[in-house]
């Protein structure tokens, strides 16, 4: 038998199923059943007036029932066939031609239509009241009032919400508006402001600055070189290390080991050729000449009557150090002759010093919460004021542009003052009290452009904040929440052009961050 290719339309189909039809109504059979039921009831002795009344209510009178049965029988049988045909063709018809008829509600809740009174004295709705008489208001009126308040705050009803204002525009108008919107959108993405904005600081986490040689103990110092693209770290592991900063590998340049000399503080000289390092309990300190690679210990300083040399600051003019002594003494030391040329004294112990931008003044913060202003040339105290609300001072920092002075306290509050007011007023008022630290504010520094103030506490993990100076608000995205990176910070520093920010923590690491707003190192 030859193979036959069956076309899609000629495939064999099974026997068609017959459509079941409803049985035809037989009035004679219905009448016969009714009579049988009546006979059974009468046989039981229940053929009384109440039964007849019930029968008439259910089935109607005999004459009416017969008439109704005859009318139903006269319905042509072809009606069922017509209905079947309509059912088959109804699927292919377009549904849009017969719109659905609106249906009435099945039931109506009277409580929905009732105007409920709303209490307007609640604290969430007080602003919507326009008079004392409006202690209560209906729901409909309250919705209208809230809609009016929203439109007022938005400067009127938005165009997309007003159906009446929707008009057709010409093709030229639409193209012009699209071009303008594109230019605006592109401009916002491409253009960058020279002024640092608050809120969120654009930054990128880089490899640790000392990743090629992490410290085996707590880091106490991190500082960027004033000229070269180099960062220095030092810590209690008795070492000072130099790294090249590229944000990717940060290779080590050099590392020196100081025998039995855990480094408490290390700093570059003003020209960047020398590193000065002090320890915790030694009167001796080291000078490391990076050009010659020579380490020179300084065992004695002429004119210095101190048991140890621990805290110091490099003078802006260069060639001199300001040593922090005990009992409120400050000693000015020249690096050329290694001798103290003059000393200054304040009441209480010195907890921090900061130089003015030109180096002519020095601000000394005492443990008692008082700030002294000294003239470096005459060694005279030219002003003195109390840090507002401070019980015990811990740190101090001055902005490079000469505009701000920040004073830290044991409570974690950092008061930001106008530097001019601190120089001339005996009772200056802080511009802002930064209260984002919960423990002692032990470290503070400004970035070179004086746009950011970094504050930190070494008493708690992740206790570092960056303050936007123009708005005096804290950047919300640093440090990253629920992710430990910073740990306990003992030192902070910015690169010469604020391109990088780093800190020294108790884990022996120096986390490094790239500040994307600044283009240079």
| pLDDT tens-digit profile, the chain (521 residues) | 445 555 554 445 555 555 556 556 677 888 888 888 777 766 655 445 555 666 665 665 666 666 665 555 554 444 444 444 444 444 444 444 455 555 666 566 666 556 678 787 776 677 777 777 788 888 888 888 888 877 766 556 655 555 555 444 455 555 555 545 544 444 444 445 589 999 999 999 999 999 999 999 999 999 999 999 999 999 999 999 999 999 899 999 999 999 999 999 999 999 999 999 999 988 999 999 998 889 999 999 999 999 999 999 999 988 899 999 999 999 999 999 999 999 999 999 999 999 999 999 999 999 999 999 999 999 999 999 999 999 999 999 999 999 999 999 999 999 999 999 999 999 999 999 999 999 999 999 999 999 999 999 999 999 999 999 999 999 999 998 778 899 999 999 999 999 999 999 999 999 999 999 999 99
pTM greater than 0.85? no
Q: State how far the alpha carbon of 144 is from the alpha carbons of 134, 141, 148, 151, 341, in Å.
A: 14, 5, 6, 11, 79
pLDDT on residue 310: 94
pLDDT on residue 448: 97
pLDDT on residue 77: 45
- Show Cβ contacts of residue 61 under 8 Å, excluding neighbours closer than 6 positions: none
pLDDT on residue 112: 58
Give, rounded to a whole angstrom, the gap between the first and last alpha carbons of the chain.
90
- Show Cβ contacts of residue 276 under 8 Å, excluding neighbours closer than 6 positions: 266, 267, 269, 285, 286, 287, 288, 312, 314, 321, 335
C-alpha atoms less than 13 angstroms from C-alpha of 44 in its C-beta half-sphere: 7
- 386/512 Cα distance (integer angstroms): 36
- Show Cβ contacts of residue 62 under 8 Å, excluding neighbours closer than 6 positions: none
Output DSSP code: residue 24.
P
**Positive or negative: CA dihedral 292, 282, 255, 257:** positive
Estimate to the nearest angstrom the gap between the alpha carbon of 182 and the chain centroid: 28
H runs (alpha helix) in 383-498: 419-424
The DSSP-derived string for 305-331 is: --S---EEEE-TTSSEEEEE-STTEEE
Instruction: Tell whether omega for the bond before 479 is within 30 degrees of 0, i.e. cis.
Output: yes
pLDDT on residue 520: 92
pLDDT on residue 138: 84
pLDDT on residue 58: 60
pLDDT on residue 54: 61
pLDDT on residue 137: 82
Are 371 and 422 in contact, with CB atoms under 8 Å apart? Answer: yes
Token readout for 423 is 């120089």
Closest CA to 491 of 502, 499, 507, 480: 502
pLDDT on residue 25: 64
H runs (alpha helix) in 108-238: 110-113, 139-153, 171-190
pLDDT on residue 470: 95
Q: State how far the alpha carbon of 119 is from the alpha carbons of 128, 144, 147, 373, in Å.
A: 11, 16, 18, 60
């Amino acid at each position: 038998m030859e193979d036959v290719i069956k076309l899609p339309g000629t495939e064999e189909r099974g026997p068609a199923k017959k459509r079941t039809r409803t049985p035809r109504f037989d009035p004679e059979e219905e009448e016969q059943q009714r009579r049988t039921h009546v006979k059974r009831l009468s046989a039981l002795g229940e053929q009384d007036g109440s039964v007849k009344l019930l029968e008439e209510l259910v089935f109607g009178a005999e004459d009416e029932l017969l008439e109704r049965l005859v009318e139903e029988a006269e319905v042509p049988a072809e009606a069922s066939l017509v209905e079947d045909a309509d059912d088959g063709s109804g699927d292919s018809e377009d549904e849009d031609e017969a719109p659905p008829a609106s249906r009435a509600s099945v039931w109506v809740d009277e409580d929905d239509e009732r105007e409920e009174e709303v209490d307007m004295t609640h604290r969430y709705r007080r602003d919507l009241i326009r008079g004392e008489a409006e202690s209560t208001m209906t729901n409909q009126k309250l919705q209208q009032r809230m809609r009016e308040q929203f439109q007022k705050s938005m400067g009127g009803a938005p165009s997309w919400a007003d159906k009446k204002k929707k008009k057709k525009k010409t093709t030229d108008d639409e193209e012009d508006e699209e071009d303008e919107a594109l230019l605006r959108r592109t401009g916002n993405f491409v253009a960058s402001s020279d002024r640092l904005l608050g809120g969120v600081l654009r930054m990128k986490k880089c490899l640790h600055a000392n990743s090629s040689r992490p410290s085996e103990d707590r880091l106490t110092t991190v500082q960027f070189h004033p000229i070269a693209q180099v960062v220095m770290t030092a810590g209690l592991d008795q070492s000072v290390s130099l790294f090249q900063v590229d944000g990717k590998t940060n290779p080590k340049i050099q590392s020196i080991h100081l025998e039995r000399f855990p480094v408490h503080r290390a700093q570059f000289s003003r020209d960047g050729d020398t590193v000065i390092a002090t320890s915790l309990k030694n009167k001796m300190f080291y000078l490391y000449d990076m050009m010659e690679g020579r380490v020179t210990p300084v065992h004695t300083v002429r004119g210095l009557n101190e048991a140890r040399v621990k805290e110091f600051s490099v003078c802006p003019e260069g060639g001199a150090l300001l040593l922090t002594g005990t009992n409120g003494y400050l000693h000015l030391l020249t690096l050329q002759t290694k001798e103290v040329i003059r000393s200054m004294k304040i009441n209480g112990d010195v907890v921090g010093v900061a130089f003015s931008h030109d180096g002519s003044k020095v601000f000394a913060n005492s443990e008692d919460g008082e700030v002294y202003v000294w003239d470096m040339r005459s060694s005279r105290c030219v002003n003195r004021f109390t840090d507002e609300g401070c019980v015990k001072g811990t740190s101090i920092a001055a902005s490079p542009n000469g505009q701000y002075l920040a004073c830290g306290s044991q409570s974690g509050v950092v008061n930001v003052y106008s530097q001019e007011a601190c120089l001339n007023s005996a009772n200056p008022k802080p511009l802002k009290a930064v209260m984002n630290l919960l423990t002692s504010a032990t470290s503070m520094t400004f970035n070179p452009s004086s746009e950011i103030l970094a504050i930190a506490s070494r008493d708690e993990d992740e206790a570092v904040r960056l303050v936007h100076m123009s708005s005096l608000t804290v950047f919300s995205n640093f440090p990253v929440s629920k992710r430990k990176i910073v740990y306990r910070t003992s030192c902070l520093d910015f690169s010469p052009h604020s391109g990088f920010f780093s800190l020294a923590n108790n884990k022996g690491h120096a986390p490094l961050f790239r500040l994307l707003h600044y283009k240079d190192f």
